[in-house]
Structure formats: structure tokens, C-alpha cells
């Protein structure tokens, strides 16, 4: 995976260049519900609808990979009933949407330590991954129990083990060697990272991959994010000049 991404082919409109890989920190479900005097689970349910809208919009635009921050390694600190609700929504999303992924040639990928989840949910996730593994169309990446610092630390451990075993020379460990050990090693380089709800931080998400990504922070709460909002974000990306440290 190169840290200097190439843009995708021209868009359907024929001019603006598309990002190949877009990632989204889906923030604001709780605030959306609070504004409407609803329980937080209502915001999460509407957030799932936003996932459907945006994944379909990305597919229609020709985005190669879309990565969604669904459950961070820090989300375990939330109340137990909210974590349980999130797990239930994940189950429902996979069960109701997997047939569409298969039909639309979408390949599902998961990054993060999802095996910490309950055995039935792990089996459901792995079955969905297996059912779409042969697809060669757009990639939908779900980050589950994911934390970027843990990802980088795990990559460092694997490289240290290889150096200890003599399979690599420590002097040859460079950026490319580290990238090859990351969860995202088989994905296009990250071009655009979006965070919704007005917060301006990365929250331990794709820290290495975001080194030269374009960052976009929008005020829209995630349940209100739709195809038009996504198109606006892609248009903002297309208007920027990317120099990767050059002139």
C-alpha cells in the first residue's frame, strides 16, 4: 500500500477526480436522538439507515473502498445496555443486507479485533465475509473493536518477531514494511476521511493511513447524512490540491 494514493478515474459527470478510498467516523447518533427526546437506540437505528444510504451512494459513484468506524475499542466503556443494542443492530444489519452485498458484487472486509464479540456474532461476521470473498467490486470495510494505536502496535510486534526469527533485517524495516502489516494492507490508500457531528478529532481511527488523507469535518449528525451530503464531501475532496509534501 502506497502512502501516495492515485485518484480514481473521472466521475460519472466526466470531470472531477474521485477518491479511491473514503473513511467515515460516524458520529452524532446520540445527539440526534437527544434533540428529538428519543432513547439513544433510536439514534443508532437511524444511523444504520444512514449506513445504507451512504454505502449505496458510494457504490453508485464508483468509490473503490468505503471504511466505516462502527465500533471502536474504546466503545466498550459505554453502558452495557447500549453496547448490547449496538451488537443487536450489527446482527440485524448483516442479516438484512448481506444478500444485497452479494447481489451487488460488494466485498465485505472487517478490520479490528472483532473476535472479542460473542461467538454467534463472530460466526455471523465471518459467514458474511466468506459469502462476499469472491466478489471483485467495491469494498465495504467495517471497523469493529478497532483502535489505530493497537493496530500499529500489533504491526510492530509482528515485525519484531520476524526480526527475532531472522526472516527480516531490522535495518530494512521502513514505512512500506509497516504498512504491509496493517489491517488495511490490501486496501487502496486512504484519500478522504470524514467525521460527522462537528467534532474535530480522529478518535484513534486510521492514524497511520490518514497521514496524507484529506480530512473533512462536517456538522451534520450521522443519522442525517445522506447521498447528497456524501456527494458534497466528495466534491470538496475533488476541489483540493494534493501535494504530498511537494510543491
C-alpha–C-alpha distance, residues 92 and 98, integer Å: 10
158 among annotated binding-site residues:
no
214 among annotated binding-site residues:
yes
151 among annotated binding-site residues:
no
99 among annotated binding-site residues:
no
Decide if 75 is catalytic. yes
**List of residues 6+ apart from 95 with CB closer than 8 A:** 124
161 among annotated binding-site residues:
no
CB contact at 8 A, 154 and 73:
no
Of the candidates 124, 174, 125, 123, the one whose C-alpha atom is nearest the C-alpha of residue 146 is: 125
44 among annotated binding-site residues:
yes
239 among annotated binding-site residues:
no
Helices (H) and strands (E) in the chain, counts: 7, 6
113 among annotated binding-site residues:
no
Q: What string of DSSP letters covers 205-239?
A: SSTTGGGG-EEEE--S-GGG--HHHHHHHHHHHHT
82 among annotated binding-site residues:
no
- Of 27, 97, 183, 191, the active-site residue reads 27
Classified as helix, coil or strand, 66 is strand
20 among annotated binding-site residues:
no
188-198: burial string, b at 16+ Cβ within 10 Å, e else: bbbbbbbbbbe
Binding site feature residues for substrate: 28-32, 40, 44, 72-74, 76, 78, 195, 201-203
Catalytic sites, residue numbers = 27, 75
Q: Known binding site for Mg(2+): residues?
A: 27, 214
Show binding-site residues.
27-32, 40, 44, 72-74, 76, 78, 195, 201-203, 214
Amino acid at each position: 500500500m502506497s502512502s501516495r494514493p492515485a485518484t480514481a478515474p473521472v466521475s460519472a459527470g466526466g470531470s472531477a477526480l474521485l477518491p479511491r478510498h473514503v473513511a467515515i467516523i460516524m458520529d452524532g447518533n446520540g445527539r440526534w436522538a437527544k434533540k428529538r427526546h428519543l432513547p439513544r437506540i433510536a439514534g443508532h437505528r437511524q444511523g444504520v439507515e444512514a449506513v445504507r444510504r451512504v454505502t449505496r451512494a458510494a457504490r453508485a459513484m464508483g468509490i473503490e473502498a468505503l471504511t466505516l468506524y462502527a465500533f471502536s475499542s474504546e466503545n466498550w466503556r459505554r453502558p452495557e445496555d447500549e453496547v448490547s443494542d449496538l451488537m443487536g443492530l450489527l446482527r440485524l444489519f448483516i442479516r438484512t443486507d448481506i444478500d444485497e452485498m452479494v447481489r451487488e458484487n460488494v466485498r465485505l472486509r472487517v478490520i479490528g479485533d472483532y473476535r472479542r464479540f460473542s461467538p454467534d456474532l463472530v460466526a455471523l461476521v465471518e459467514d458474511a465475509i466468506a459469502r462476499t470473498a469472491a466478489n471483485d467490486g467495491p469494498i465495504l470495510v467495517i471497523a469493529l473493536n478497532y483502535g489505530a494505536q493497537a493496530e500499529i502496535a500489533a504491526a510492530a510486534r509482528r515485525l519484531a518477531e520476524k526480526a527475532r526469527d531472522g526472516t527480516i533485517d531490522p535495518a530494512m524495516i521502513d514505512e512500506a514494511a509497516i504498512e504491509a502489516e496493517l489491517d488495511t494492507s490490501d486496501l487502496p490508500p486512504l484519500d478522504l476521511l470524514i467525521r460527522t457531528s462537528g467534532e474535530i478529532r480522529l478518535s484513534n481511527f486510521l492514524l497511520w493511513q490518514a497521514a496524507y488523507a484529506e480530512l473533512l469535518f462536517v456538522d451534520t449528525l450521522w443519522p442525517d447524512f445522506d447521498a447528497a451530503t456524501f456527494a458534497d464531501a466528495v466534491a470538496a475532496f475533488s476541489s483540493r490540491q494534493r501535494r504530498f509534501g511537494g510543491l
